[in-house]
Amino acid sequence: MTEPQNLSALDRCIIAIDDGLRAVFGQPQGSAGAAPPDALVDEAQLTPAERRISEGLMRVNHTGEICAQALYSAQALTARGKEVRARMAQAAAEENDHLQWCQRRLRELNGRVSYLNPLWYAGSFLIGALAGLAGDRWNLGFVVETERQVVRHLDGHLDRLPAVDAKSRAILARMREDEAHHATTALRVGAAELPEPVKRLMTLHSRIMTAIAYWI
């Protein structure tokens, strides 16, 4: 995601459209110099059943990163302060690294991405835009809660992955570290704590996406 500072509202809208097309259909732009965390990990011999589990979980994580791109793009577009927009842009670039890692791992597993990624992106973009329109403190608060839920989600996937699939584990462990850092950073710059009903709705949305993307 290109950093949208010192640009007009129309420029930022065009960038947001370009970022969305890259995330869903093309090659997203990651952060500079990010090495794949599993680059030095040998490929294990997975049974067909183990491969199906790893493929399904990595498809869910790929879809989660599609959603993250939509959220950060919309939150940056609707943020009021330049500093908040810059932080959203930087986080989006790091999330694009995750998107690339998950996409590459799916290819290695002879898997595919979710057929519904355009739908997931559109829905998440709307949610992110609403968070941004609520104000910067709530915008940052949404980041905190999203990343907290993602960390819990990744913990569950690390438990479910086949023990021999060290390559997928390396990717998810690095992603977990980055997501926790995003939450900590947002808290440090003044995020507001979201109301419990909003947190529950976010959890419900995540569960629906996870259940569907695993198979479709």
Least confident of 21-30, 76-85, 98-107, 131-140: 21-30
Q: What is the pLDDT of residue 47?
A: 92
pLDDT digits (tens, 9 = 90+) for 44-74: 889 999 999 999 999 999 999 888 888 888 8
Query: 31 lies in a domain?
Result: no
**Mean pLDDT for all residues in the chain:** 83
Q: Total domain count for the chain? A: 1
Is the pLDDT score of 144 beyond 50? yes
pLDDT digits (tens, 9 = 90+) for 152-182: 999 999 999 999 999 999 999 988 988 888 8
Question: How many CB atoms neighbour CB 52 within 10 A?
Answer: 14
Q: What is the pLDDT of residue 31?
A: 58
Query: 34 lies in a domain?
Result: no
Query: 3 lies in a domain?
Result: no
Query: 40 lies in a domain?
Result: no
Question: How many CB atoms neighbour CB 206 within 10 A?
Answer: 17
- In the chain, the amino acid numbered 146 is T
Which has more confidence, 88 or 213?
A: 213
155: containing domain: 9-26+45-213
Query: Rounded to whole angstroms, how far apart are CA atoms 153 and 99?
Result: 16
Range 127-135 average pLDDT:
86
Query: Rounded to whole angstroms, how far apart are CA atoms 156 and 130?
Result: 28
Name the pTM for this structure.
0.84
Q: Answer for the pair 168, 161: CB distance below 8 angstroms, yes or no.
A: yes
Query: 60 lies in a domain?
Result: yes
> How many helices (H) and strands (E) would you count in the chain?
7, 0
Query: 21 lies in a domain?
Result: yes
Q: What is the pLDDT of residue 56?
A: 93
Is the pLDDT score of 5 beyond 70? no
Query: 1 lies in a domain?
Result: no
Contacts 24+ apart (CB under 8 A), 162-167: 162/46, 162/50, 162/53, 162/54, 164/44, 164/45, 164/46, 164/50, 165/44, 165/46, 165/50, 165/54, 166/38, 166/41, 166/42, 166/44, 167/38, 167/41, 167/42, 167/43, 167/44, 167/105, 167/108
Range 114-120 average pLDDT:
91
> Going by C-beta distance under 8 Å and a sequence separation of 6 or more, which residues neighbour residue 166?
38, 41, 42, 44
Query: 33 lies in a domain?
Result: no
Question: How many CB atoms neighbour CB 11 within 10 A?
Answer: 12
- CATH value at residue 140: 1.20.1260.10
Q: What is the pLDDT of residue 3?
A: 47
- In the chain, the amino acid numbered 55 is E
Range 112-130 average pLDDT:
89
